[in-house]
Each structure stands twice: as structure tokens, then as C-alpha cells.
Amino acid sequence: MAGKSNTGLVHIYTGTGKGKTTAAFGLALRAAGAGISVCIHQFIKGTPYSEDAIFKKIKNIRLRQCGRGCFIKGRPGPKDIACARKGLKRARNDILSGRYGMVILDEANIALKLRLIKTRDVIEIIKQRPSHVELVLTGRHCPRSLLRYADVVTEMRKIKHPFDKGVPARKGIEY
């Protein structure tokens, strides 16, 4: 695989600010441009997002959604849990296969916060991943216990956001 190295790191993008997924996807584009195979697993999400269209055109980026196609309000139901756990199992298989130089677990921290997946399972995956795999986890509310396994931790802090003024999510910007 082009661009393969033995120095894969673990990145965590967390915090209340905008830009966690955007940062991870920027990293995915950079990796793909360098010939690295990328696999993105989107937890919670199961509906089309604008980035889906461009990722389908890039041969070495694979996008998998691990949500059931709707926004989770209140407590997650059994279907939400089943989707997330199935998604984590697929992500684990992709990571351990060694086929990908980068794997992104988008919104994994939210899935952890909602108890859709278990922190200990994510830590096991981190410990078992092949040394060349760059692993990126995004989402608010990263568990403190997970931070110690990361090589790069970036906290996006909200100072201002259009949602605060009632501006709804905009296609091509927030989704």
C-alpha cells in the first residue's frame, strides 16, 4: 500500500466547537491524496451528508454509516444500539485487517456517551490495531479514560455558533 508506515497514531477530535468531523475528513483527503487507503465509519449517522458524494468519487476512501437513518432524540432504542455495535464490529474488522492505513470513527465519542458502544471495546481495538493504522475518533464528550490512549488530542471549543442565533444546519456547511 502506498504511504504505508509503521507509525500510525491515534487522534481524538472532541469538544463543543464545530469542526471535529471536518478536521478528520480533511485528514482523510490528505491521506487519500498520498495514496493511503481510508475507511470512515460514521456512528449515529445514517442519512446522506454532502461529503458522501465526493467520497464516492475517491477510489481509496470507503464510507460506512453505522446509524439507522434518523436523529436520536432522548434515550437510544435497541435498534440504535444494534446498529452502533454492528458498526463497531465492522470497524474493528477493517482496522485489524490492515487493509487501511487510516480508519476514522466519526462520532464514536457520542456513541460512547449514549452507551451505544463500550469504551473498553474501543480501547481494545486501539491496543490491537496494526502499527501502521492511523486511527481517528471524533465527537463531543470523549471519555477521559480514552484520552490516555491517544497520541493527538484536539479540543474544539465553541466561542460562537450560528445555532445559538437559531440558524439551522446548512447543506454543504454543517451537513
SS3 7: coil
Give 4's pLDDT tier (boundaries 50, 70, 90): low
Measured between alpha carbons, how far is 148 from 163 in angstroms, rounded to an integer?
32
Q: How many residues does the chain have?
A: 175
The proportion of the chain whose per-residue pLDDT surpasses 70, expressed as a percent, equals 95
**Of residues 163, 133, 146, 170, the one with CA closest to residue 7:** 133
- Does 110 reside within a domain? yes
- Does 157 reside within a domain? no
> What is the average per-residue pLDDT within 28-33?
97
Residue 2 has a pLDDT of 45
Averaged confidence pLDDT in the chain: 92
Q: Identify the residue whose cell numbers are 444546519.
A: 169
Which range, of 21-35, 100-114, 158-172, averages the lowest pLDDT? 158-172
How is residue 100 annotated by DSSP? Answer: -
Residue 90 has a pLDDT of 98
**Of residues 120, 163, 162, 113, the one with CA closest to residue 139:** 113
- Give pLDDT tens digits for 32-86: 999 999 999 999 887 788 888 899 999 999 999 998 876 677 789 999 999 999 9
- Does 2 reside within a domain? no
Helices (H), the chain: 20-33, 50-55, 78-97, 108-113, 119-128, 144-147
Give 5's pLDDT tier (boundaries 50, 70, 90): low
- Give pLDDT tens digits for 117-141: 999 999 999 999 999 999 999 999 9
- Does 18 reside within a domain? yes
Count of structural domains, the chain: 1
Residue 110's CATH number: 3.40.50.300
Give 106's pLDDT tier (boundaries 50, 70, 90): very high
- Does 173 reside within a domain? no
Residues 6+ apart with CB under 8 A from 42: 49, 63, 64, 65, 66, 67, 106, 107
- Does 37 reside within a domain? yes
- Print the domain residue range for 45: 10-131+142-148
